[in-house]
Structure 1
Amino acid sequence: MRINDVVITAISNLFRVYICWKFIRFFFDERKVEARTEKAVYFIFYIGTLLFFVCLQSHGINLIVNLAGIFLLTLIYKGSLKKKALAAVLIYIMNCGCDTLAYFLFLNSNQDIPETQTFSIVTDLLLLICVIVAAGILGDKAKKELEKGFWVLVMIPVLSILMIVGIGTLGLSKQGIMLCIGVGTLIINMVVLYLYNMLQEAHQNFYEKELLQQQIKVYSNQLETISQTQKKIRHVRHDMVHHIKELYGLAVADKKEELLAYLKEMEEAVVNPKEHVCTGNYKIDGILNYMLEKAENELKKVEVKVKIPEWLHMDTFDLVIIIGNLLDNAIEAARQTDEKYLSFKMTLEKGVLFIDAANSYCGVIKIRESKILTSKRDPGDHGFGLESVQEIVRKHDGVTDVTYGRDTFKVRVMIYMKSVR
């Protein structure tokens, strides 16, 4: 094998390893694997498959080595062996499918099948199309950005393939020109994929930053609420002897109305108006008190009923996201109406967690691609909160039911608890 053939093969194989990594991420959570270990394993896979192909040049051995290598890559991720084997087979079948399609593209152009290197470049571009389409179907965090530029991303590799096949069909190039154009096209598409990956990570970081900022506000509000409550309790406790004497005197004198009035004053002295909910779970209490205080300030009528145990066998972070998004959407929609009404209920009944949010709304529902758009001012956030809720509920095998009438919008979430502590 000539030196230029080895170089082209090395670049093409590097591209395939990157595509393979992108596909594997659709099946497994890469955050649970140490980055250094992941990079080392993929580097070994790249060098191993490259050496086998260059040294042996046997399609049979190459098939076995690649399939076994992809399966070994999946072993560093958490998941069942069945899932790992299935992922490896699906990825390799997709690879073979792109090889076959590339073969027929040249076969149908009434020309000789090109050199292996040019053939591999076309296959890599087909794989790029597959990974972009798969990201739109399977990738949770990629969906938002893909919706904006999906066809642009797909058309770049498609046009690149047409360019390579077209030049060969017209007979305008020699092997060297074909290879140069092919390498240039491959590099351009690698840059596009790299930029897309950066855009995807930037979007994820932005979303995580928004969540972190909300958490900081929630915890700050909860700490302030707890501090105020404790301060009031200390004052009442300090004067408890005097209060008992006063209550005793009113009871002996049979002054019932004055006794009740005095007890009412004591209750008001202890109760913190910012503490709307107290379940014992500081994270849930934090988000509820923060959002409900916001609702009390912006709306006319707020009804709340929360009856859950202190601990639930469910990821509290996910539950906080559900509560936060439901209340945020409900408050935003209700504040734009004359009624300014919000009802929120959260109960645990027979092992099922029910979360009901109802609010007044302007009566206009916007739907795009089967998704309900919210009434938020930022168009980039349309439907994102409700979509996040639905994804998390599905993750916990729950159900989300959305209904709306002439002036009331309702969302019911049902999540089955495996056990309650």
Structure 2
Amino acid sequence: MKFVMIAELLLILFSNGIRFYAVKRYIDFFAAREKCLWKYNWILYTFACIGTYIVSIIFESPNLNIISNVIALFLLACPYKIKLSKKFLMTFIIYSINLLADIIVVQLLAGYVPGQRVGSAYQFITSLAILIPTAFFSEFTKKKTQDSLPLMNVFILGMIPLVSIVCMHSIATLTENNKPVVLTVAFSLILINSFLFYLYYTLTQFYVAKMNEKKLEQIIDVYAHQLDVVQESQEHIKKLRHDMKHHLIELSAMAQQDKNKDMMRYLEHMEKFMLNPAEKVSTGNKEIDGVLNYMLRRADELLKIVNLDIQIPKSLYRNNFNICVILENLVDNAVRESSKSDEKYLSISVRVQKDILIILIENSYSGSIVQKGNIFQTSQIDTSIHGLGLESVKQVVEACGGDIKIEYTEKRFWVQVLLYLSNIVEN
């Protein structure tokens, strides 16, 4: 009997631990971890978990439980460098979620009678109910940085505590609260949920690492390709410089004989010799030149018409990363889509006007466009052609405080992006 009591108290403590783990995920949603001034804030969570547990066990007073939980939540919000009003609001919202879960569980499942103590099994169920929304809350935050697994994985994660609640309630009802059975199932579910949440966290870290590795590989490919382009252009210049004396003698002789047409043809030949076919863009801006030259490698092979109008300063701003992400997605989509059309047309214009970077990309396409809200899909087998790429671009443009405009006809697709350079510098 004593063993059962100890196990029941441990279950309540573990349930409180799950509750405060959920609280931590809620706080991470409302306030970025970077704003936490205390590196070891897990100590606060430990004290809050044990402190509220002791108050609930010793005093068994609903009013004291409310006060201790509210104080604990506010103390957990204190280390964050945010406004005091936001700390109060965060405390109120998180406690309201806890209270709502309590009410739903004890009223709908436990058949609560005023004055009656809620069993440890239903305290455990309440903690799981509080935990469920955190899976979707945290993923909503990660979507801004695209460091998250697909939505289906998040849905499955949220279903794990929900299935555990159903199992726990069923066992408690069918066994008429047979404490040894209920406690055994409860601790088993705690282990299952802990292992699965840890596994999900590990998979997320692995997924993010793989995505970053993939991005890094592409960046290396871009720079390697641009280095090859530059080296090839330098070889052309070296050869021309080596033969410059001969060229000057030849041009001088033509000039003395008034052979203007021959001179023009000769100069055109020299110009073609100097030009590197792989160097589509040469503005002096290494990052943007590299991305465009890399993304346009297939354009000559797949398309009939490629028009380029790139007029940007050599030093656009401190970091070209956001612009490169936008150009990479838009050009990749445009080349792929236009290659499937009969016209095979692509036009890219990038220029700066009055402190505004204007990107305009026009391409031909085949099939039809399906617009669902703000999401565009094509009738092609791969419906993500314009969908995912454009969504990624929209997120970056929004983060930079810019604007994006999309238009299309039966045969042409236009995307125009406006980026205010002053905003980009700040980002």
TM-score, normalisation: structure 2: 0.84
Q: Is the 8 A contact 1:278 1:285 kept in 2?
A: yes
> In the alignment, does 2:322 pair up with 1:318?
yes
CA RMSD of aligned residues (A): 3.4
> In the alignment, does 2:80 pair up with 1:74?
yes
Cα distance in 1 between the residues matched to 2:85 and 2:292:
41
Q: Deviations over 1:347-396 (max 9, x none)?
A: 11222221111111112224567632367866788722221111111111
CA shift in 2, pair 1:52/1:393, >3 Å? same
Q: Is the 8 A contact 1:301 1:342 kept in 2?
A: yes
Match of 2:48 in 1: 49
Cα distance in 2 between the residues matched to 1:11 and 1:420:
47
Match of 1:100 in 2: 103
Question: Which stretches in structure 1 are left out of the alignment for 5+ residues?
Answer: none
Q: Deviations over 1:87-142 (max 9, x none)?
A: 45543443333233333334546798554643431222112221123245443067
Match of 2:352 in 1: 348
Match of 1:12 in 2: 15
Cα distance in 2 between the residues matched to 1:311 and 1:180:
66
Aligned amino acid, residue 50 of structure 1? C
Cα distance in 1 between the residues matched to 2:195 and 2:152:
19
Match of 2:227 in 1: 223
3-state secondary structure, aligned to 2:297: helix
> In the alignment, does 2:337 pair up with 1:338?
no
3-state secondary structure, aligned to 2:341: coil
Q: Is the 8 A contact 1:363 1:408 kept in 2?
A: no
- Work out the percentage of aligned pairs sharing the same amino acid: 30
* Distance apart, 1:203 and its partner CA: 3.1
Q: Is the 8 A contact 1:118 1:178 kept in 2?
A: yes
**1:102-251 correspondence to structure 2 within 5 Å:** 102-106=105-109, 108=111, 113=116, 115=118, 117-135=120-138, 137-140=140-143, 145-149=149-153, 151-169=155-173, 172-251=176-255
Deviates more, 1:223-232 or 1:141-150: 141-150
Cα distance in 1 between the residues matched to 2:8 and 2:246:
95
Cα distance in 1 between the residues matched to 2:254 and 2:35:
65
Aligned amino acid, residue 52 of structure 1? G
Cα distance in 2 between the residues matched to 1:114 and 1:53:
16
3-state secondary structure, aligned to 1:401: strand
Cα distance in 2 between the residues matched to 1:104 and 1:66:
25
Deviates more, 1:203-212 or 1:57-66: 57-66
Match of 1:405 in 2: 409
Match of 1:287 in 2: 291
TM-score, normalisation: structure 1: 0.85
Cα distance in 2 between the residues matched to 1:381 and 1:32:
38
3-state secondary structure, aligned to 1:305: strand
Question: Which stretches in structure 2 are left out of the alignment for 5+ residues?
Answer: 57-63
Cα distance in 2 between the residues matched to 1:299 and 1:351:
33
Q: Is the 8 A contact 2:367 2:379 kept in 1?
A: no
Match of 1:273 in 2: 277
CA shift in 2, pair 1:233/1:301, >3 Å? same
Q: Is the 8 A contact 2:229 2:276 kept in 1?
A: yes
CA shift in 2, pair 1:92/1:241, >3 Å? farther
Deviates more, 1:150-159 or 1:399-408: 150-159
3-state secondary structure, aligned to 2:422: coil
Q: Deviations over 1:186-206 (max 9, x none)?
A: 332233322332333333233
3-state secondary structure, aligned to 1:293: coil
